[in-house]
Chain A
Amino acid sequence: MTAEARPAPSGSPLLQIDNLVKHYGARGGARKPAIRAVNDISLTLRAGETLGLVGESGCGKSTTGRCIIGLEQPTGGRIVFDGKPVEHGKRAALTAMWRDMQYVFQDPFASLNPLMTVFAILSEPLRLSGMSVAEAQARVAEMMRLVGLAPEHGNRFPHEFSGGQRQRIGIARALALNPKLLILDEPVSALDVSIQAQVINLLEDLQERFGLAYLFIAHDLSVVSHICDRIAVMYLGRIVEIGTREEIFQRPQHPYTQALLSAVPIDDPDLRGKRKRIVLQGDPPSPANPPSGCSFRTRCWKATEVCAGDVPALEPKPHARQAVACHHAGVLTAEPA
């Protein structure tokens, strides 16, 4: 089954995020918050679709994921999942939502309770939702087989499994109650390279089989290019570019996206020296003190005065279909200094 034949997502979006904001460290009434981790993010995600959220450390992609799932409380903005707004303060509402939206953690070692057997870990969400012991046993066996683990190993402890297997246990746990959306926070970054491919294939298979939507948070662009339908590029708490995989990888418009793509190491020694690499000068600014206007301007070779003024809006430009937040968006033509 080719990618093109994957059922096209349709209907109203499964997840709608409007102007999400998350600030840390603001102490009652302070005008200037300490850290703006997420600074006005808007996204939509349709059923069955995979949206990649990429960026480097400090860009706010993990925080965005955590706000959506409810592990963090946003400072502002609206998140609507499956037609219902996410009510962050209310545990009952969140618990109900967690039957349809789940989360896969990055670290396969830290995401499983070391003192619980795999069976106990996987049956917990089932039992808490009211399933009987017998039903839970059957379902756990099914879940383990689904992710490629032998159900006989259910009475073992996490430390007896390899990193890749533990991550599969985490994925199985997330799928326990048949959610519609999975938020995956760097699900393969902590795994050995030869194992990453196994887990990515598994995620794709599961998506095909169950029609899952994925919000795939990552910094590894090669992985993202493989699994994601659409991609949002984040920098310092904002989305700077969002579009389909082809649009982003073939015709990136935002200078940061272009720099990011050019920084990905080559995969063939024959390309050495052939590809011009954009090496960004300077350091990423601190989220506690972002530059005025466009936050990328301090490292951007196209920056002009207008960039220090208004924050560029994320909108489609005339010559490209994807939305870009840049006053000087355009395909990379001139060599950056």
Chain B
Amino acid sequence: MVHENSGQPLLSVEGLITEFRSAEGIVRAVDEVSYQIWPGETLAVVGESGSGKSVTAMSVLGLIPRPPGRIAGGRILFEGRDLLTVTPGEMRAIRGKAISMIFQDPMTSLNPVLTVGFQIAEAMLAHGDMGRTEAAERAVELLRTVGVPNAPERYHQFPHQFSGGMRQRALIAMAIANRPRLVIADEPTTALDVTIQAQVFEALRLAQAETQAAMVLITHDMGLVAELADRVVVMYGGRVVETADVRTLFHAPRHPYTKGLLASLPRMHERSERLNPIPGAPPSLVNRPSGCAFHPRCAHSAGRLPCRTDVPVMREIEAAHWSACHYAEELRQSQERVEA
């Protein structure tokens, strides 16, 4: 689905800063992160350990435990309202209705002593606008929508009677029950088998088609991004390093980390001698490198001074394509040389 991203974004994260107090000092897990998502689009937020992608989402949902965490700066505008200024009660009303979430581990997200159907219905009853019977019927409908076979029977079953993939689909059903405008899915397919992932992809696609909700897909799995995303935000070391639409990102990345990440993935249908890993390891946020967080691992930097001292600013390299690299232009030139 290609979107014309015009008008107001549904969600706008602006300069978000989230910190945690730890034994080693204050850790800035999210360091002035900004991104937007428009109605109906699927935005993938990609990153590895320590990138801050999950913490950003938790901050949006108001789920950062304080202490030891705190939001130290920025704004989170949802439909014009700054979520950082709403009361906990208002946040609760928004969470689960206008914004819903799907987490990684379906086992711990479902109450083992209640039937799955009841839990889905309850999600709707909690936000008040329908009666019990109606909620139950809609729950069965939702299970059907996400591809659970024998939905009426399954309604009365308990989580342990569902397989891993089905549990995840039940959670997806729960997440769309109240017709949210935004769904945040945090690693929805990690830890699932490949054939089950396929089922869950389908379920996510169907869910989005049904509700036209915008979806933030937080993942490290580039395959999932290639399958579902419209636009991609790449995070590294607590900051955003690149933002682009999905095709541009895969074919013409303009940040050395994105480039390195895509190049390091083993591709099933390519026969290559050696893989091309990114040397080194993702930074510990306690000891984040000065300047650009990626510079110690960056071949493109070649040790140049600005990379080591100045934090690069996000710049619009081309239309709707942003990169936080001091030398992003050189990447474009070398790419064009290759294509020429």
Chain A residues with a Cβ under 8 A of chain B: 2-3, 56-57, 162-165, 192-198, 200-201, 204, 219, 221-223, 225-226, 249, 259-272, 277-284
C-alpha gap A163/B165 in the complex (Å): 28
Binds A, one of B11-19, B28-36, B78-86, B265-273: B265-273
Q: Are B282 and A192 in contact (CB under 8 A)?
A: yes
Contact of A280 among B195, B266, B274, B281 (CB under 8 A): B195
For B246, the chain A residues whose CB sits under 8 A away are: 269
| A268 and B149 within 8 A (CB) | no
CB within 8 Å for A267 and B165 given contacts A195-B281, A200-B275: no
Q: Mark B243-284, 1 if CB is under 8 A from A, else 0.
A: 000110010000000001100111111011111111101100
Query: Chain B CB within 10 Å — which of A267, A277, A284 has the most?
Result: A267
> Which residue of B196, B264, B268 is within 8 Å of A194 (Cβ)?
B264
Which of the 9-residue segments B127-135, B174-182, B222-230, B323-331 touches chain A? B222-230
- Contacts A193-B265, A219-B194: A283 and B163 contacting too (C-beta < 8 A)? yes
Q: Within the assembled complex, what's the spacing in Å between the Cα atoms of A32 and B274?
A: 48
Report whether A271 and B276 are in contact in the complex, using a CB–CB cutoff of 8 Å.
no
Nearest first, the 3 A-B pairs at minimum CB distance are: A265-B223, A197-B277, A56-B193
In-complex Cβ contact of A200 among B193, B199, B266 (8 A)? B266
In chain B, residues 193-219, which have Cβ atoms closer than 8 Å to a Cβ of chain A? Answer: 193-199, 201-202
Contact A279 B198 (CB under 8 A): yes
The answer, yes or no, to whether B221 is at the interface (CB within 8 Å) is yes
Instruction: Contact check, B194 vs A260: say whether CB atoms are below 8 A apart.
Output: yes
A26 to B278, CA, bound (A): 48
Cβ contact within 8 Å between B265 and A222:
yes
CA distance A207 to B35 in the complex (A): 45
Total A-B residue contacts, Cβ distance less than 8 Å: 132
Smallest Cβ distance from A286 to chain B, in angstroms?
10
Quote the shortest CB–CB distance from B320 to chain A (angstroms).
15
Q: How far is the CB of B266 from chain A (nearest CB, A)?
A: 4
Bound-state CA distance A260–B195 (Å) is: 6
Q: How far is the CA of A198 from the CA of B266 in the complex (A)?
A: 11
Q: Does B115 contact A (CB under 8 A)?
A: no
Contact call A193/B48, Cβ cutoff below 8 A = yes
Total interface residues on B, using CB and 8 Å?
46
Evaluate contact between A3 and B266: CB separation under 8 angstroms: no
Query: Shortest Cβ distance from A249 into chain B, in angstroms?
Result: 7
Distance in angstroms from A280 CB to nearest chain B CB is 5
Q: Which residue of B lies closest to A278 (CB)?
A: B198
Give the nearest-CB partner of B197 in chain A: A263
From residue A80, how far is it (CB to closest CB) to chain B in Å? 32
* Residue in contact with B264 in the complex, picked from A197, A204, A221, A265, CB distance below 8 Å: A197
Could you tell me if B193 and A219 are in contact, using CB atoms closer than 8 angstroms?
yes
Chain B nearest CB from A300 CB (Å) reads 12
Q: Is A249's CB under 8 angstroms from B268's CB?
A: yes
In the assembly, what is the distance between CA of A269 and CA of B248, in Å? 10
Collect the chain B residues with CB atoms within 8 Å of residue A223's CB: 266
Give the docked Cα–Cα distance between A266 and B246 (Å). Answer: 13
Q: How far is the CB of A33 from chain B (nearest CB, A)?
A: 22
A2 with B273: in contact, given A192-B220, A264-B194, A269-B246 (CB under 8 Å)?
A: yes
Q: Can you report 13 residue pairs joining A to B where beta carbons are below 8 Å apart? A: A163-B281, A192-B220, A198-B277, A200-B275, A201-B277, A204-B274, A222-B265, A222-B266, A226-B275, A260-B194, A264-B268, A267-B226, A267-B265
- The answer to whether A263 touches B227, judged by C-beta atoms less than 8 angstroms apart, is no
Most chain A beta-carbon neighbours within 10 Å: one of B49, B149, B194, B250: B194
Q: Assess whether B166 is interfacial by the CB under 8 Å rule.
A: yes
Whether the Cβ atoms of B194 and A56 lie closer than 8 Å is yes
- The listed residue (B163, B223, B274) touching A267 by CB distance below 8 A is B223
Name the A residues within 8 Å of B267 (CB-CB): 222, 267
Closest residue on chain A to residue B162 by CB atoms: A283
Residues of chain A with a CB closer than 8 A to B272's CB: 226
A264 with B223: CB separation less than 8 A: yes
Q: Are B149 and A282 in contact (CB under 8 A)?
A: yes
> Which residues of B sit under 8 angstroms from A2, Cβ to Cβ?
273
Asked whether, in the complex, the Cβ of A265 is within 8 Å of the Cβ of B275, the reply is no
Does A284 contact B198, Cβ atoms closer than 8 Å? no
In the complex, which residues of chain B have a beta carbon less than 8 angstroms from the beta carbon of A266? 223, 226-227
B226, A271: Cβ atoms closer than 8 Å: yes
The closest CB in chain B to the CB of A246 belongs to B271
Chain A residues in 8 Å Cβ range of B149 = 281-282
The answer to whether A57 and B193 have CB atoms under 8 Å apart is yes
Q: Which residue of A lies closest to B48 (CB)?
A: A192
Within the complex, the shortest CB–CB distance from B67 to chain A, in Å, comes to 24
CB distance from B144 to the nearest CB of A (A): 14
A330 to B261 CA separation, bound complex (whole angstroms): 37
Nearest-CB distance from B98 to chain A (Å)? 29
